[in-house]
């Protein structure tokens, strides 16, 4: 794979930060956009802008409808889903999960029903369930972690019961990098008739997803972590389950009958997927997401996974050689394309600032996973995350910057 040629497709990677070439190691937060995505968005907004849905004004207005339908089918293929109508447009992973938590949970959860989460969840897959559990009187259970940051599946078996209604877990932890065994989780949940929702925000750009093969019931991801634009996300759900979800936002779709006292509820419930979306869809962002998926398909999953695995292995091994640095999470065999760590005597925020002076962009905080950091007994970690455009040389720059920070703070102390 020609990494130099791939990097040339990302204009932002050619800039400098504080006089140093940008080393972007924060793709777990948001990935950069290739020229094809930028061009697709610009072309739509300058040549073809229109609203999808409602009364279209002739052939021009129909372009938006056609574009949205085309990308919906593209996402369906990307996820190996069975029906394009199972693809729901949202603003991102957080909205997708809220749609299930509010639209399904408010309608179907009863007092005493149980929801199982994991202790490694991002707030987007934690807070919505906490809120709906409080509202509906449901009980939250948490899958504990092993000492090396994996889900304790033996404990999951103990947590599952006939009252379990749903298990919600990330595909890959945004802090630990843990790749969770989704098929095993689904098999366990099925024995009790429980549904499974997957936060795939950290999966979608790093590994192929096949929702039918995995057997999950809901899956959510964001476009901006997939080399696409912000403001667009996807909720996939099994068709029969989407029919049981109430809209999160009311009033944005067409009603067959609407009077002073309400609407024809039967007609509304049949109008999938539009009834779970809103009018005024961000068509340019949807088009951009389609271009991002084309970019991934052009490179190929085999090339992507091989390159990112090599980067992660190099980063993991190199970081572990730095005195006082502790990598958080499992070993290489069960780790995605990110490494979070702490450095003795150097606060993550200070380390991030020192790396920034070298042009290195990493993330230093609790990464919207406060529950996990509380369990680890640490306030924050530094995270370096990798994508198709990163290189071994950038990892060397990262490690050199960390060593400089260690030497600096040793002198200060």
Q: Which residues contact 355 (CB under 8 A, 6 or more apart)?
A: 361, 362, 398, 401, 402, 405
Quick check: is 320 catalytic? no
Ordered alpha helix ranges (H), 33-105:
35-43, 58-78, 93-100
- Rounded Cα distance between 137 and 132, Å, is 8
Contact 350, 409 (CB under 8 A): yes
CA torsion 174-177-178-182 (nearest 10°) is: 60
Cross-strand partners of 219:
198, 236
- Catalytic entry in 154, 320, 368, 399: 368
- Rounded Cα distance between 285 and 50, Å, is 13
Q: Go through 315-340 and write b for each residue having 16 or more CB atoms within 10 A of its CB, e for each that does not.
A: bbebbeebeebebbbbeeebbbbbbb
- Rounded Cα distance between 326 and 116, Å, is 30
Q: Which residues contact 46 (CB under 8 A, 6 or more apart)?
A: none
Catalytic residues: 368
């Amino acid at each position: 794979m020609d990494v130099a040629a791939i990097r040339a497709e990302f204009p932002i990677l050619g800039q400098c930060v504080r006089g140093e070439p940008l080393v972007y190691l924060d793709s777990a937060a948001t990935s950069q956009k290739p020229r094809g995505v930028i061009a697709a968005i610009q072309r739509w907004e300058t040549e073809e802008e229109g609203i999808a849905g409602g009364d279209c004004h002739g052939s021009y207005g129909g372009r938006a409808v056609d574009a949205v339908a085309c990308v919906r089918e593209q996402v369906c293929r990307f996820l190996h889903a069975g029906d394009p109508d199972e693809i729901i447009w949202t603003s991102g992973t957080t909205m997708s999960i809220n749609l299930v938590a509010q639209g399904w949970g408010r309608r179907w959860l009863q007092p005493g029903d149980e929801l199982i989460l994991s202790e490694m969840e991002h707030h987007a897959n934690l807070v919505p369930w906490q809120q709906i559990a409080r509202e509906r009187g449901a009980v939250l259970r948490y899958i504990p972690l092993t000492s090396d940051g994996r889900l304790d599946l033996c404990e999951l078996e103990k947590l599952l019961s006939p009252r379990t209604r749903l298990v919600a877990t990330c595909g890959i932890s945004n802090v630990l990098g843990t790749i969770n065994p989704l098929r095993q989780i689904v098999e366990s949940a099925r024995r009790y008739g429980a549904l499974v929702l997957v936060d795939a925000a950290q999966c979608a750009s790093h590994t192929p997803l096949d929702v039918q093969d995995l057997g999950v019931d809901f899956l959510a991801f964001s476009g901006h972590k997939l080399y696409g634009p912000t403001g667009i996300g996807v909720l996939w759900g099994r068709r029969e389950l989407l029919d049981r979800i109430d809209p999160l936002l009311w009033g944005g779709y067409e009603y067959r009958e609407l009077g002073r006292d309400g609407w024809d509820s039967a007609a509304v419930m049949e109008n999938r997927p539009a009834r779970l979306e809103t009018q005024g869809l961000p068509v340019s962002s949807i088009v951009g997401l389609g271009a991002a998926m084309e970019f991934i398909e052009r490179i190929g999953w085999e090339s992507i996974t091989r390159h990112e695995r090599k980067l992660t292995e190099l980063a993991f091994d190199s970081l572990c050689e730095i005195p006082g640095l502790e990598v958080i999470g499992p070993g290489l065999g069960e780790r995605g394309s990110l490494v979070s760590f702490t450095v003795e005597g150097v606060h993550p925020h200070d380390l991030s600032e020192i790396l920034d002076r070298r042009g290195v962009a990493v993330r230093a905080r609790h990464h919207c996973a406060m529950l996990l950091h509380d369990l680890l007994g640490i306030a924050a970690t530094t995270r370096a995350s990798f994508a198709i455009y990163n290189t071994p040389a950038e990892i060397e720059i990262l490690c050199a910057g960390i060593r400089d920070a260690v030497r600096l703070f040793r002198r200060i102390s």
